[in-house]
């Protein structure tokens, strides 16, 4: 079980490539962070993983299925991607219906159970009957993440999942991620929030100038302060403090 990007390039407009010759392999059980400056192409990369966008060159294989020739509805059983802006994704008239849509559509036997579990994991149980647009922005973000988790797809890709969360929400969010990691789910996370995700990560990629500017283990990346700075990645607070002491 893996996701493979083989020589992937992508352009929105001909002659203006956003990503060039990306080669990445993501194995089951990993937590891969995708970092990089604003506009580097991180969200574009996530949209290539579940076939919303198709590579202009190269191929993306999800558990061996080529995204260029596999319907996105089939890929959805293997990978769930959340968007940076929850408003681009939410469409149902209640929180519960929104979460239930994915597992029902994928004909998961235990769709109701998966929905209830996701509601609880992300602290949305008391809001199940609310209209999604009555939620706070951070709760809407949690709703999209809960919806992805409830599909039971083994690969989960989140675009800026911790953006806008309060201190309290971050705490329960940490527990949720630990729980999902223990359950063997695989994460691909686009984030500017290294403080939050570095302890969960197995591998880190930094997108720069359309390519992989840096690839390394989560332990290694923290020792690469100069590289992080050059590639426009905000260094975690603990590392900044360490740097000041040195
Ligand atoms: N639908 C689109 N049509 C044309 N260009 C686009 C489109 N979406 C994104 N772009 C451009 O592609 C580049 C990469 O955008 P992308 O959203 O992938 O970056 P990002 O790394 O996610 O940035 P951010 O950190 O701000 O979210 C940017 O220059 C952006 O303006
Ligand atoms: Mg983005």
Q: What is the pLDDT of residues 80-136, one digit of tens each?
A: 999 999 999 999 999 999 999 999 999 999 999 999 999 999 999 999 999 999 999
Q: What is the pLDDT of the chain when averaged over all its residues?
A: 93
pLDDT for residue 222 is more than 90 = no
pLDDT at 134: 96
pLDDT for residue 240 is more than 80 = no
Distance (angstroms) between ligand 1 centre and the Cα of 59 equals: 20
Distance (angstroms) between ligand 1 centre and the Cα of 43 equals: 7
Closest CA to 142 of 103, 171, 112, 113: 171
Question: Is 0.85 surpassed by the pTM of this model?
Answer: yes
Cβ of 126 closer than 6 Å to ligand 1, yes or no, is: no
Please give the Cα distance from 151 to 190 (Å, whole number). Answer: 20
Q: Write the residue with the smallest CA distance to atom 6 of ligand 1.
A: 12
pLDDT at 174: 87
Q: pLDDT digit string (tens) for 163-203?
A: 888 888 888 888 899 899 888 899 999 998 888 898 889 99
Q: Write the residue with the smallest CA distance to atom 18 of ligand 1.
A: 41
pLDDT for residue 146 is more than 90 = yes
pLDDT for residue 246 is more than 80 = no
Cβ of 208 closer than 6 Å to ligand 1, yes or no, is: no
Distance (angstroms) between ligand 2 centre and the Cα of 39 equals: 7
pLDDT for residue 233 is more than 90 = no
Q: pLDDT digit string (tens) for 48-83?
A: 999 999 999 999 999 999 999 999 999 999 999 999
pLDDT at 12: 98
Torsion sign, CA atoms 148, 153, 158, 164? positive
């Amino acid at each position: 079980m893996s996701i493979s990007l083989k020589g992937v390039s992508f352009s929105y407009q001909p002659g203006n490539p956003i990503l060039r010759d990306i080669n990445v392999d993501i194995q089951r059980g990993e937590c891969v962070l995708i970092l990089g400056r604003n506009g580097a192409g991180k969200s574009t990369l996530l949209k290539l993983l579940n076939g919303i966008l198709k590579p202009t060159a190269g191929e993306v294989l999800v558990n061996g299925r080529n995204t260029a020739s596999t319907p996105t509805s089939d890929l959805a059983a293997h990978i769930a991607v959340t968007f940076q802006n929850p408003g681009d994704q939410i469409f149902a008239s209640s929180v519960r219906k929104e979460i239930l849509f994915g597992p029902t559509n994928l004909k998961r036997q235990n769709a109701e159970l998966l929905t209830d579990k996701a509601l609880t994991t992300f602290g949305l149980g008391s809001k199940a009957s609310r209209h999604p647009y009555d939620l706070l922005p951070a709760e809407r973000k949690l709703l999209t993440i809960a919806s992805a988790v409830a599909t039971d797809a083994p690969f989960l890709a989140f675009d800026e999942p911790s953006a806008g969360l309060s201190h309290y929400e971050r705490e329960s969010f940490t527990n949720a991620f630990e729980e999902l990691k223990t359950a063997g789910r695989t994460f691909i996370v686009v984030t500017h929030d290294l403080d939050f995700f570095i302890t969960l990560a197995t591998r880190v990629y930094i997108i720069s100038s359309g390519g992989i500017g840096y690839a390394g283990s989560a332990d290694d990346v923290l020792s690469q302060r100069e590289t992080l700075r050059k590639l426009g990645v905000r260094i975690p607070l603990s590392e900044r403090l360490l740097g000041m002491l040195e």
